Amino acid sequence: MGFFKNMFTWWEGAGLGTHLSVWRSGTKVGSDDQGNLYYRSKSGRRWVMYNGPNDASRIPPEWHAWMHHQIEGTPDEALPPAPKFLKAPTGNQTGMPDAYRPSGSLERGGQRQAASGDYEAWTPQ
């Protein structure tokens, strides 16, 4: 079921066209810490095969630079080592428990801070 599901549902993973591109002209360039695989064709086209759901926020910044031709070599070759204080990138947190919720949002009770009093609402005459 997995092969046929991926063949017809591009949002669930690599589709048939991607697998054919890897087979015909793809050369594996590397992988990242999340298990995503990066490929290059002879014509210079670059793509990623995700290890899990297709979400562009799962591509680390160094591989994002490679994907968009900002660096020529792989991140291991072209970039200096990351500083020790740098935090690991996180994916898109929208809809997740760790998402940012400002005061006044429905998830935090829906109550905004009171206005300061220097605001006067416009009323038509």
Q: Answer yes or no: is 16 within a domain.
A: yes
When pLDDT is averaged across residues 20-29 and rounded to a whole number, the result is 70
- 111 has pLDDT over 80: no
What's the structural domain count of the chain?
1
Q: Answer yes or no: is 36 within a domain.
A: yes
- Going from the C-alpha of 34 to that of each of 21, 31, 73, 75, 89, the distances in angstroms are 22, 8, 20, 15, 11
Q: Answer yes or no: is 29 within a domain.
A: yes
Neighbours of 56 (CB within 10 A): 11
**Interval 32-67: pLDDT, tens:** 988 999 999 888 889 898 888 888 888 988 999 999
Q: Which residue has the higher pLDDT, 58 or 111?
A: 58
Q: Which residue has the higher pLDDT, 19 or 112?
A: 112
Domain range for 34 is: 2-81
In contact, 39 and 26? CB cutoff 8 Å: yes
**pLDDT of the residue at 93:** 85
Rounded to two decimals, what is the model's pTM? 0.60
